[in-house]
Amino acid sequence: MKIIFTGGGTAGHIFPIIAIVREIKKAYPYGDFQFFYLGPKDSYSGKYLSQEGIEVKNVLAGKFRRYLSLSNITDIFKIPIGIIQAFYHIFIISPDLIFSKGGYGSVPTCLIGKILMVPIFLHESDICPGLANRIISRFSLEIFTGFSINETEYFPSKKMLSVGNPIRLGVLKGSKIESKKIFKLSEEKPIIFFLGGSQGAQKINDVLLAVLPQILEEFEIIHQVGENNFAQVKKETDLILSDRFKKYYHPFPFLSEKELGNAYYSADLVISRAGAGSIFEIAANALPGILIPLAGAAQNHQVRNAYAYAGRGAALVIEEANFKPHFIFEKIKYLFSRPEKMDQMSEKAAQFARPNSARIIAEYLIAYLSQ
- Shared domain check, 159 and 38: yes
CATH code of the domain covering residue 224: 3.40.50.2000
Is the distance from CB of 283 to CB of 262 less than 8 angstroms? no
The 10 Å Cβ neighbour count of residue 68 is 7
Domains identified in the chain, total number: 2
280-303 residues labelled b (16+ CB within 10 A) or e (exposed): bbbbbbbbbbbbbbbeebbbebbb
Q: What's the pLDDT at 46?
A: 83
Residue type, 349: A
If asked whether residues 210 and 157 sit together in one domain, one would say no
Q: Count Cα atoms within 13 angstroms, Cβ side, for 146.
A: 29
Average pLDDT over residues 238-263: 94
Same domain, 19 and 87: yes
* Pair 189, 267 in one domain: yes
Same domain for 187 and 144: no
Q: CA 253, CA 202: separation in Å to the nearest integer?
A: 12
pLDDT confidence of residue 319 = 94
Residue-level pLDDT at 130 = 86
Going by C-alpha positions, the residue among 144, 146, 148 that lies closest to residue 276 is 146
Task: Look at residue 200 and tell me whether its pLDDT is greater than 70.
Answer: no
Judge contact between 307 and 127, C-beta under 8 A: no
How many beta carbons lie within 10 A of that of residue 338, not counting itself? Answer: 12
Q: Are residues 322 and 362 in the same domain?
A: no
pLDDT at position 141, please?
Answer: 95
Integer Cα distance of 95 and 93 in angstroms: 6
Of 64-73, 173-182, 191-200, least confident by mean pLDDT is 64-73
- Cβ-based neighbours of 295, under 8 Å, separated by 6 or more: 303, 319, 320, 321
Q: 208 with 163, same domain?
A: no
Whether the CB-CB separation of 128 and 304 falls below 8 Å is answered with: yes
Q: Are residues 177 and 160 in the same domain?
A: no
What sign does the dihedral 7-288-293-230 (CA atoms) show? negative
Instruction: Please check whether residues 153 and 188 belong to one and the same domain.
Output: no
Residues 191, 76, single domain; the answer is no
Rounded CA separation 24/363 (Å): 7
What pLDDT sits at residue 75?
67
Which pLDDT score, from 0 to 100, does residue 311 have? 96
The range of the structural domain enclosing residue 190 comes to: 170-352
Q: Is the pLDDT of residue 47 over 90?
A: no
Cβ contact 204:292 at 8 Å: yes
Give yes or no: residues 193 and 280 share one domain.
yes
pLDDT at 153: 80
Q: How far apart are CA 53 and CA 75, in angstroms?
A: 30
**Residue-wise pLDDT tens digits, 140-181:** 999 999 999 888 888 988 999 999 999 999 999 999 999 999
Where in the chain does DSSP place strands (E)?
A: 2-6, 34-39, 54-58, 97-100, 120-124, 142-145, 160-162, 191-195, 220-224, 249-252, 269-272, 289-291, 315-317
Q: Kindly state whether residues 203 and 126 are assigned to the same domain.
A: no
